[in-house]
């Protein structure tokens, strides 16, 4: 039911969001629309970067509301200027409750001129995107549409009776087969909000904190699922090709590209972009790696040749 709700919600948003990943990629769409939406991605990136410097919001209050599920005292409207709330080119206003709390990507349509210097790549595994909130001796996983899909114990700060101090909020992809939450980003760690930190620092902090907590990578009574950070790579063709060559492509959903200076924002942003593996050659000039099926087929062809 939750999957159906998310799918319907996404379909209604397709026409509203530029380069929406739930619609066809503009380069691969056989019914290409003659609009400026897919051709202004670089312009919108600059606007987002400029606007986030002006943004003022009480993230400490917001993340506390997420952790404690207490929303009446959150004065989010008063923390945003009228100009921020009225223009479609700015970072979205933080939502209440657990819906739309995640930073979402756009299709990578225009490769930025500073792609190799100012962007990082992450290989996103197959799974369901979840907001993970650890607080009050338990850990809750929420879908993008705000439904609590699981409650369990974890070794995250605040996530079990053994780690009951503070609260933690993560952006994850959950793979049920692996019993693993693959961590894409951190919004708060042990009471320290990270929303207005740049990507490079958030990822540095995330790698450090997970390495300091090795029990997160183990299945134990106090850690029901593993938490594994998604690695980041430079956006050079050789690094991308090398990373993919050592990855099981059949377990990959796609590639995420993060601008190093973006803050963690709510909703879709041109500062985080997305490609499916088969799109790499057309967009970045990188031949896609072979899947296991391709390799097996090649072996069979050689055997019968």
Tens digit of pLDDT per residue, the chain (305 long)? 455 445 545 444 444 567 787 777 777 765 455 444 555 888 999 999 998 888 778 889 999 999 998 876 444 444 443 334 333 455 566 666 899 999 999 999 999 999 999 999 999 999 999 999 999 999 999 999 999 999 999 999 999 999 888 999 999 999 999 999 999 999 999 999 999 999 999 999 999 999 999 999 999 999 999 999 999 999 999 999 999 999 999 999 999 999 999 999 999 999 999 999 999 999 999 998 876 555 454 444 455 55
The model's pTM is 0.83
What total of structural domains would you count in the chain? 1
Residue 305 forms part of a structural domain = no
Determine the Cα–Cα distance for residues 129 and 210; give it in Å rounded to an integer.
19
| Residue 303 within any structural domain of the chain | no
Instruction: Compute the half-sphere exposure of residue 222: CA atoms within 13 Å on the CB side of its CA.
Output: 15
Report the CATH number that the domain containing residue 70 is assigned in CATH: 3.30.470.30
- pLDDT of 292 reads 58
Closest CA to 184 of 192, 68, 175: 175
Residue 252 sits at the vertex; the CA angle it makes with 247 and 257, to the nearest 5 degrees, is 95
Q: Helices then strands (H, E): number in the chain? A: 9, 12
Range of the domain at 190: 2-290
Look at residue 199 and tell me if it is in a domain.
yes
Q: What is the DSSP letter of 223?
A: B
Contact 110, 172 (CB under 8 A): no
Residue 246 lies in a domain: yes
- Could you give the C-alpha distances from 85 to 146, 180, 196, in angstroms and in order? 22, 37, 18
**pLDDT of the residue at 48:** 92
What is the pLDDT at residue 77? 44
The predicted structure's pLDDT at residue 190: 96
Q: 68: closest CA among 173, 170, 158?
A: 158
The rounded distance, in Å, linking the Cα atoms of 92 and 236 is 31
Q: Which two tokens stand for residue 4?
A: 């159906």
Asked whether residue 267 is assigned to any structural domain, the reply reads yes
Structure tokens belonging to residue 43? 């312009």
Q: Please report whether residue 12 resides in a domain.
A: yes
What pairs with residue 220 in β-bridges? Answer: 223
Residue 296 lies in a domain: no
* Segment holding 180, helix H or strand E: strand 180-189
């Amino acid at each position: 039911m939750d999957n159906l709700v998310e799918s319907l919600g996404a379909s209604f948003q397709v026409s509203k969001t530029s380069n929406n990943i739930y619609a066809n990629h503009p380069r691969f769409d056989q019914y290409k629309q003659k609009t400026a939406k897919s051709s202004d991605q670089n312009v919108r990136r600059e606007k987002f970067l400029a606007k986030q410097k002006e943004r003022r919001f009480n993230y400490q209050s917001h993340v506390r509301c997420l952790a404690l599920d207490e929303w009446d005292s959150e004065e989010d409207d008063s923390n945003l200027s009228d100009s921020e709330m009225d223009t479609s080119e700015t970072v979205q206003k933080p939502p209440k409750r657990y819906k739309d709390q995640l930073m979402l990507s756009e299709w990578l349509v225009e490769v930025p001129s500073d792609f190799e210097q100012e962007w990082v790549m992450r290989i996103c595994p197959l799974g369901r995107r979840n907001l993970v909130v650890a607080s009050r001796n338990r850990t809750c996983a929420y879908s993008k549409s705000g439904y609590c899909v699981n409650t369990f114990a974890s070794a995250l700060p605040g996530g079990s009776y053994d780690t009951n101090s503070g609260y933690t909020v993560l952006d994850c992809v959950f793979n049920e087969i692996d019993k693993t939450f693959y961590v894409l980003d951190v919004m708060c760690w042990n009471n320290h909000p990270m929303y207005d930190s740049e990507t490079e620092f958030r990822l540095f902090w995330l790698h450090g904190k997970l390495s300091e907590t090795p029990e997160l990578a183990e299945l134990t009574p106090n850690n029901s699922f593993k938490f594994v950070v998604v690695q980041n790579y430079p956006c050079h063709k050789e690094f991308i090709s090398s990373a993919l060559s050592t990855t099981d492509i059949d377990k990959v959903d796609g590639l995420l590209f993060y601008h190093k200076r973006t803050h963690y924002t709510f909703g879709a942003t041109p500062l985080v972009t997305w490609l499916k593996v088969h799109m790499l050659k057309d967009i970045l000039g990188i031949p896609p790696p072979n899947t296991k099926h391709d390799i097996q087929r090649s072996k069979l062809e050689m055997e019968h040749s």
